[in-house]
Amino acid sequence: MKERCRLIKDWIEGLGTSQLAEWDQLPDIGLYMDQVVTILERQSGQYLQGEDVKAITPSMINNYVKDGIIKRPVMKKYGREHLADLLILNSAKQVLPISDIAVLLRHMEDEVSTGEKYSYYRALQQEACEGVAARMRQALDNVGTECDDRQLFIFASRLVLEANLLTSAAKMLLRDVMRPSNGAKERKAPDSKKRKGK
């Protein structure tokens, strides 16, 4: 039983190291595909759990480019803006289909730089990590040193229900509020069922 409490504590501590790199820390030189994949795997592995870490492959990135989700590389090299968009995409794809992520990435693209949006996203990620860590610490206090099964069930259920509602709220914003109207410029956004490796 105490082993379960230790696992929860370790996960909470891991949230403290789950920050995306700052904008200025992203390489500002052109990177080839294998370098991009390596950076994405290192960054994404920090905040995803074990078997949930879905490796991002070169073919996935090629599909994102082909579908207009990610801008085309320059002479097969990817820059800081590509990395920022791919890091956001890779974290968001755990809960959203690609068509919704396309709206998130392209929203206000003519008014706000990629660097500014990435910095907002990064700050929000830090805020979310701190909030979840605080809630998990409180839950750990409630389950006691033996990690009471009833309390674990209640807390896990609460998280599942909240995650479901938060995902639904994000989809509503992206689909009904932020999606460009028919007359506005809109990039091609694929149906998430058409491509493997969403």
- Give, for all 198 residues of the chain, the pLDDT tens digit: 678 888 888 888 888 777 888 999 999 899 999 999 989 888 876 556 555 555 688 999 999 999 999 999 999 999 999 999 999 998 898 899 999 999 999 888 889 999 999 999 999 999 998 998 898 888 888 777 767 788 888 888 999 999 999 999 999 999 999 987 654 444 444 444 444 444
Q: Which distant-in-sequence residues (6+ apart) come within 8 Å of 54 by Cβ?
A: 48, 93, 94, 197
Determine the Cα–Cα distance for residues 172 and 96; give it in Å rounded to an integer: 11
Model confidence, pTM: 0.81
The dihedral through the CA atoms of 162, 181, 195, 67 has a sign that is negative
Residues 6+ apart with CB under 8 A from 19: 46, 122, 125, 126, 129
pLDDT at 197: 47
pLDDT of residue 187: 46
Please report the pLDDT score of residue 138 as a whole number. Answer: 86
Question: Distance (Å, rounded) from C-alpha 179 to C-alpha 170?
Answer: 12
What is the pLDDT at residue 49?
58
